[in-house]
Amino acid sequence: MSRFQAPIAEAIWDMKYRFKAADGTALDGTVEDTWRRIARALAEVEAEPAKWEAEFYAALEGFRFLPAGRITAGAGTGRSVTLFNCFVMGTIPDTMEGIFTGLKEAALTMQQGGGIGYDFSTIRPRGAEVKGVAADASGPLSFMDVWDAMCRTIMSAGSRRGAMMATMRCDHPDIEAFIEAKKDPARLRMFNLSVLVTDPFMAAVKADGPWELVFGDKVYRTVQARDLWNRIMRSTFDFAEPGVIFIDRINATNNLGYVETIAATNPCGEQPLPPYGACLLGSINLATLVTDAFEAGSSMDMAALDHLVRVAVRAMDNVVDASRFPLPEQAAEAKAKRRIGLGVTGLADALLMVGLRYGSEEAAQVTEMWMHKIARSAYLASVDLAKEKGAFPLFDAEGYLASGNMAGMDADVREAVRAHGIRNALLTSVAPTGTISLYAGNVSSGIEPVFAYAYTRKVLQKDGSRTEEEVVDYAVRLWREKFGDAPLPDHFVNAQTLPPLDHVRMQAAAQRWVDSSISKTINCPVDISFDDFKEVYMAAWDQGCKGCTTYRPNDVTGSVLTVSEATDKAPGEAPDQVRGAVSSGEVVYLSHPLDRPAALEGQTYKVKWPGSEHALYITINDIVTAGHRRPFEVFINSKNMEHFAWTVALTRMISAVFRRGGDISFVVEELKAVFDPRGGAWMEGKYIPSILAAIGGVIERHLIDIGFIDGEGMGLKSDPKAELMRVGEAPRGKSCPACGSYDLRMVEGCLTCGSCGHSKCG
């Protein structure tokens, strides 16, 4: 029997995590083969690999321990990809050479699949003097635009596009421009933005005091702290960004405060990291560890939790040695501190299964108890590893134990660390698990509440037909198996109906025992007042959170997953009738890249670049899906051997994009924007900035000819998936760029597709 409880889970495994050869041939025959591949790869560094392969396999089996996607997809494949999810790049020097060296390092990191964070506070503000060139500085936002363009161009490992976090200190002179940058809907789309909020700033906000904007030793101007805070809040209220990071609290509690200063996080915020910092992620699936679900004696199996955490810590520690790194600085940083980020998923489902309402005081207390157990087990497991393999190289007992986090740790854990050291400097983090949670049977993701108990999606098959299937939350499926169509209990709540301050309560409860941070989105109703919205952030500050991210649907950000409001039935009714829990939209999902038919129609174009001895020949073949002709593959050929490597790479990359479906017109935009520093050329009366731009022009002309786009520079005309919008139906916001469904939801700070798991944060 299949280990997968739903077709969507198997489809995600096949698309994202199943090991395949370059030609698409599956090398992992079953998900058991995937678990075996991972277990074997992580056990190779052990003195007793057979023993630990068996232990790691047992932890992976049944989706109990869920390594993050980079590990699941990459471990044991022999491919040159990083198994680390999170990177913060080096401090950006305030020089042109340093800035563009940083850009190069970012490109290399994203090329291998890592999401990155950057602090742009180190770049002088707009209008500041640039000595020696008689010019004024353009400011950090102008360079963020360059990073944004680079990220749009890079397609990272596993066909995931890059994700970036940009931070800026609340006292930087350009902070107001940073706060409002995303008012422009076309700007900085590849970035998540967060303001680094300091303790003195929050004190000034509460006191309604003045606040100086400073760079270097120069005060550029003084504003009222509360006015600046209100600007942050207003932008977040209207545009869902920027987020807020309480940076002084992060540094005060950091176990490594004695050897590092943190100024940025990874794209989803759960990993505050120093320059060149890297962290790998994994999650304990709490929903799989509840015994006697929905019964009077239901509980978390604490012994099983302890054992699973200990095995997971060892497996993740081994990833540090098994992984490749994009940059040597990242490898050195990871091995000097051996950071890991073990978190949880399925929390909301587990609470439902033991009879607790997510967001209640009792649920918060139980969450804190579970997270405390995980922290104890993780730290003691890492101490045992230190006894066996040695502490992390930069360990210093007095400095380590003096941190705010360790000051609050249990006395026996502190004494064990003092006596034996610890293998991993930091151990816990709560990551986004949107895709992983679907793969594991649609458990609730991370520490988020259940988003929707059930919804219907339509799947586009290879032959063009569609099948309809219901996607059911893990806990609801268990309820149905036990009690049939009996009404759901009253404690079943979802993200749409949960008061925002209940979200904050749960985030604060989990944060108490997490040494890094938490990726969490606080869903706010569209009609929340601005004053109540601001109170959410102040409550997060007052309750000890390390940051705060909210999502309020509005006309600017667009709606996310549409849920039915057609029924007046209460939460106690049958699961497929829960108010606000059933998707009303028809969702189409490409479960596989399209197979190549035996014959395709196409066109070959000749491009003769001025000054080049040989011409390029560009062949574009098309396929017909749902009655529409669209490009399927590209071949670029030349007799010039100097062109061989990059034309083959471009051929493979563009063809892979075409076969995934969705809006592929961005390929034209990106190619046409490439310029050659040696200069372009005039062709047919137009200046073309590079040979790549000329290729982009050819593809655009072809798209116009087949009716895929309206005209030059006009983007997508008609995608087959546009038919999903029913006649007369109101727009439902943005469609998923990977599968075309209107099933995007905000999950832990990132828009994530509920159908295919696509997220710009990877």
Residues annotated as catalytic are 266, 268, 270
Amino acid at 577: Q
Q: Which of 456, 461, 436, 465 is nearest to 448 (CA)?
A: 436
How far apart CA 675 and CA 679 sit, in angstroms, is 7
Closest CA to 226 of 209, 241, 245: 209
The alpha carbon of 21 is separated from its chain's Cα centroid by a whole number of angstroms, namely: 26
Give the whole-angstrom CA distance, residue 314 versus residue 51. Answer: 13
| Strands 340-345 and 278-285, bridge-based pairing | parallel
For residues 175 and 242, the answer to whether their CB atoms sit within 8 Å is no
Query: Residue 672 and residue 686: Cα distance in Å, rounded?
Result: 12
Residue 654 CB neighbours (<10 A):
23
Residue given tokens 């259940």 in the structure block = 450
Q: Where do we find the tokens 């045992």?
A: 384
| Residue 747: its H or E element | strand 744-747
SS (H, E, C) 443-497: CCCCCCCCCCCEEEEEEECCCCCEEEEEEECHHHHHHHHHHCCCCCCCCCCCCCC
> Residue 748 in 3-state DSSP?
coil
Q: Which amino acid is present at 554?
A: N
d(CA 559, CA 538): 26
CA distance 575 to 209: 51
Tokens of 637: 């050929």
**In degrees, to the nearest 5, what angle opens at C-alpha 512 toward C-alphas 509 and 514?**
110
